[in-house]
Structure 1
Amino acid sequence: MPRIANIISTAHYLPAHKITNAELNERFTALGKPDVIGKFAESTGITQRFYAPDDWSTSDLAVPAALEALKRAGRRPADVDLIILGTDSPDYITPATSVVVQHKIGAKNAGTFDVGCACASFPTALTIASGIIATNPGIRTILVIGAYMMHRLADPGDPTIFFYGDGAGAAVIEAKEKPGFIGSAMQADGEYAESWGIFAGGTKEPASEQSIRDGRTKVRLVKRYPPEINDVGWPKLFNRLLAENNLTAEEVDQVIFTQVRKPTIELAAKNCGVPIEKCHMIMDKWGYTGSACIPMALDDAISLGKVKSGDLVVMIGSGVGYNQAACAFRMS
């Protein structure tokens, strides 16, 4: 019998501390940058974001999302065979954040690994989980998590901190005999690898007093990304995914894009031939939650009744590097 990966449950976690655009505007006005927050707000649709407590790390965001997803699936942490966690704001360079989460939730029977392709991590992780489910009868329950705490790795005086909100989303994946997972498509271009990132602290440039003084251990936008990367790249992935799986845009019930700019999603929806009403957005109320934004948006859409059993959902993530990934699921 076929083993087709299905999303059994989803959940998300949003921390309590709300940071409004007005608060950020006060900060940057005092720094002599009175117009920057308003410009970002106008171009993105983001109005606020939420921060975790100062003594938390990314794994602490992942834990409540993971536990709630397991609870909704009727599973215990001990039932989990594998944890795949996507983030580009890990607890440590090494070890993997997934193994920290495994210990914190008590998933004593689970293996773990991280996926580190930024905001493309969740659809990438779902695709990996689906392949593992299909080919490994001993793997029954996989916990896939996206978690993000980039504001902790940003310079408080850098205006790009506007974007970063904390959060996590999770999904429980198990095998059934019907879709489930339908297919995926991916693309990347390492030409942009040095445009936006944290450039000191790894092997190319180990952390040093000089790198800290220069701000290179903080996340930095060095060179502007051309908007065409997403404006063209998302519809390209969408159309390829549908063509390779004999689907049409009319059959798609919901598209969850990376949640960073409302105008980008509006343009992508138009170019994909999908009504904007089928593209749920959360960046206005939760900010840009990076590696977590797609599972958070998916769970929110489910809770609002925008995604129902039997619906065809496409998820398209786009992250620095750049990496882009898309996957399609028939929701169970």
Structure 2
Amino acid sequence: MSRFATIIGTGHYLPPIERPNREMRERFGEVIDKFEASSGITTRWYAPDDWVTSDLAVEAAREALKDAGIQAEDLDMIILGTDSPDYITPATSVVVQHKLGAVKAGTFDIGCACASFPTGLNIAAGLLATSYQMKYVLVVGAYMMHKLCDWQNDVMSFFYGDGAGAAVLTYSDKPGFISSTFFADGSYHKHWGIYSGGTYEPATVESVQAGRTQVRFITPFPPEVNNEGWPKRMRELAANGNFDLQDVDMALYTQVRLNSIKLVQETLGLPLEKTHWIMDKWGYTGSACIPMVFDDARKQGKIKSGDLVTFVGSGVGYNQAGSAFIMP
């Protein structure tokens, strides 16, 4: 029997502390109006100071497990995407496994930033298709960048909101998973990131005091990275999966700029009704934004059984990945 990965449950978690644009405007001035106009972001949410990324991931995972109708002990694998990990090492996924009580699950982390969730979906699909001992795989995206930025003084903190999203996959004799695509251009790796604390520059008193252990926006990415890259990834998904782009029922993208999503949909000839966005109410949630927008669209009834859904994400570095599924 052929085994196709299928998504049977989703969930998300939004932490409780709101930081609306009004507060940002009081701190940073009129530049916030410009950011709001291009991104669509009006607010963002922060986790309490004593929380870590794995706490967000666990809450989203519990919602996805409940939606799928299974228990944590049923999981065979946990794949976690984040670029705000609990530690440099060990992997945050093992912390999630422990907190969740997923006692028989293997785990690993993915570090592709906002491309992590479609990357994780593609890996999960491959595992379920070829590893016959596996039945349930959990894919999580989690983000707590506000704790790794200077949110009180760095205007780029406008974009960072905390959150997590998750999906449970199992196998079926019907697709399911349709196609994948990947792309990267590492020449951009110095544009945006956390550049002290690893082997390039181990953390020192000096680097901490200078703020180099916090996330820094160094050089703007050309707008075509997303505005042209996302349509390319969508066309690759269609070619790899042998479907027509007009057959896509819901196209989901990294939730950072609403204007980019509108432009990409227009470029592809897809109406805005065939996409969904959450940055207006939740901010940019990085590694978590695609599973969060996916769950929100499902819970609002915008995604139904039989729908063809695509996921395209861009992560700093930069990575891009896409995944296509038919919903069960």
Partner of 2:54: 59
2:77 to 76, 82, 104: 82
Note the 1:193-204 alignment, pairs <5 A.
193-204=189-200
1:149 to 139, 144, 150: 144
How far the C-alpha of 1:149 sits from its partner, in A, is: 0.5
SS in 2 for 1:169: strand
Partner of 1:234: 230
1:208 to 204, 210, 218: 204
SS in 2 for 1:202: coil
SS in 2 for 1:204: coil
Residue 308 of structure 2 is aligned to residue 329 of structure 1: no
How far the C-alpha of 1:327 sits from its partner, in A, is: 0.4
Q: Structure 2 length as normaliser, TM-score?
A: 0.99
Alpha-carbon distance in structure 2 between the residues aligned to 1:169 and 1:313: 16
Partner of 1:177: 173
After TM superposition, what 4+ stretches of structure 1 lie above 4 angstroms from structure 2? none
Partner of 2:303: 307
Note the 1:243-322 alignment, pairs <5 A.
243-322=239-318
Partner of 1:125: 120
How far the C-alpha of 1:279 sits from its partner, in A, is: 1.0
Alpha-carbon distance in structure 1 between the residues aligned to 2:245 and 2:104: 40
SS in 1 for 2:252: strand
Partner of 2:185: 189
Q: Structure 1 length as normaliser, TM-score?
A: 0.97
Alpha-carbon distance in structure 1 between the residues aligned to 2:209 and 2:17: 29
2:156 to 160, 172, 175: 160
Matched to 1:60, the amino acid is: D
Alpha-carbon distance in structure 2 between the residues aligned to 1:321 and 1:77: 33
1:42 to 37, 40, 46: 37
Partner of 2:23: 23
Matched to 1:293, the amino acid is: C
How far the C-alpha of 1:210 sits from its partner, in A, is: 1.3
Matched to 1:13, the amino acid is: Y
Percent identity over paired residues: 61
Matched to 1:214, the amino acid is: A
Alpha-carbon distance in structure 1 between the residues aligned to 2:11 and 2:232: 29
Please provide the CA RMSD for this pair: 0.7
How far the C-alpha of 1:277 sits from its partner, in A, is: 1.2
SS in 2 for 1:27: helix
SS in 2 for 1:138: coil
2:109 to 108, 114, 139: 114
Equivalenced residue count is 327
